[in-house]
Structure 1
Amino acid sequence: MKMKTAVMGAFALTGAGALALAANAQDRMILPGANWATMQDETEGGHRFGNPEAKVKLVEFMSYTCSLCATFARQGDSAIRLAYVPTGRISYEIRHLIRDPVDLTAALLTHCGEPQKFAGNHEAIMYRYEDWMAKVQKSTQAQRSRWQFGSHSARFQAIASDLDFYDIMQGRGYTRSQIDACLSDEAKAQAMAEQSAADIAKYGLPGTPSFVLDGELLEGTHNWPALEKRLSSVVIAD
C-alpha cells in the first residue's frame, strides 16, 4: 500500500515532545548450538528474531492497517521464522511504519509486556485484521472524532474499545489496567512515530510491506512469493 503523509499526522497525534531514541543494543555472547528459533529481542527500531550476529539481515517494514501486511503475516512471517531463522544465518526484524492513529494504537499494544511477548501480540492483532478493520470501515463520525481529539490516553483507549483490541489483548492474558498502561505510553508512541519517519527517509520506502535485505531495499518485493525467491537465492549463494 502507498505510504502517505499520514505518518506525520500520527506523529502529531502522540501529543508528546520530541524525545531521543535510546540505544538498547548490547554486546552479546554468541554460543555454539544456540536455539535461534526461540531467540527474539527488541532493537532500536523494532523486534528481531534469531541470531543478532547473523550474516544475512532481513527487515520487514509493516503497518497494522495494511491489508497486504495482514496477508504477509499469515503467509511469510511464520515461514521465515520456521525455515530460515533457526539456521542462525538469517535474522528477521519487524519494524513499524505508522500510518494513522489506529495503526499506532495496534503497534503500542504489540509492545505490551516483555520483548518475548511481541510475536504473540503481533499475531493476535494481525490474525484478527478482517474483524477489526470492518469496524474501522463502519465507524461513525462521532467515533472518529474521539480517535483524534482529547488526551493521548483517551484517544487510544477509544480506538481500542471501538475495535475490540481490549478483547484481543485480554485473550493474550493482559488485564484492562495493563492494556491502558501500554496505550498511555506517550514516550513509546513518540519514538515509534519518529522511527517511522527516519526509516522512510533512510530507505525511501514506497509502501507496506517493504523489505530491506542487508541494508538494501528490495524493490518490487511486497509479498511472500516474491520475497521467498529473494531469500532462497541468498541462501543458495551463501
Structure 2
Amino acid sequence: MLLALTVQPVRTGEGKYNRHTGEYEYSKKVPPISALGIFFFFIAVGFIAYLPSWALGTYSGKFWSTQAHLFGMEGVADLELLECRLFGICDGRLKWAANASTQSRHQLKTEDEHLENECEAKTPSTDELPRVQDQNLILGTDRLFTLVDTYSMTAMVFCAVHPPSVALVCGHEGGMRRTLLCSYNYKTQTFHRETVVRMPTKVLDRMDRVNKFRFSMTSLSPPKEQFQSDKGGV
C-alpha cells in the first residue's frame, strides 16, 4: 500500500478569503513583532562579528604577572629592535620613560581630552651634561647607557662614568621613587653612586629590602692609567 503525503506551507497572520479562487489571500506586510526580532538579530550578528576584534585590541600587548628585571647596555638602544630581541615580537609595548633621568624628554599629550594635561615621552637627548669646574672632581668621561625595566615596560637613557650594576631605592619625589644606580667595588665591598634616576612607585612591589650596606656618594675611582689618559697625561 502506497501513501502519498502532501506538505502544505503553514501561513500565519490574518487572511482574506477569495470567492473566485476559493483560497485565502494573506497580506505580505511583516508583523511588528517580526520586524523587531529581525532588527535585534542584525544587532546581535554585528556584535558577534566585532567581538573578536574587540577582545584582541583589549587583551593583546599586555602582560600578566610580569617578572621584574633590569637590563642595561651601553649606548642609546633602538626600542623596536630591543623589544624584538627581548620578547620576540615588536608590538609597541616598550616605551621611553617621560621623566626618569636628565636625558629624558617629554611633551604634553593632547590626543584625547581626558589626557590633555598628561605627558608623553619623547626620544631621549644624547647631549653631554655640564662639567664641573674643579678638574680634581672629574673621575672619568661620562658615557650613555640604556636601562630597561620589564615590570613598568619603560626604558631610560642616563649618563654615568661606570656601568652600574645595582639599583637602590632610597626616597621619593613627585610621586616617583628616587633610585641610586651604583657600581660595586668588590675589594672594599662598597656600592658607589654613579647616577640618580626616578622609577615608578610600583617597582617596590618586586624589590627586596636590605638591612644594611656600605655606600659611597662618589663614583668608583677608575684605574690610574685610565685617569691619566682621560686628562691627556702619559
Normalised TM-score (structure 2): 0.25
Which gives a bigger RCO, structure 1 or 2 (Cα 8 Å, sep 6+)?
1
Normalised TM-score (structure 1): 0.25
Max Rg structure: 2
Give the structure with the higher percent helix.
Answer: 1
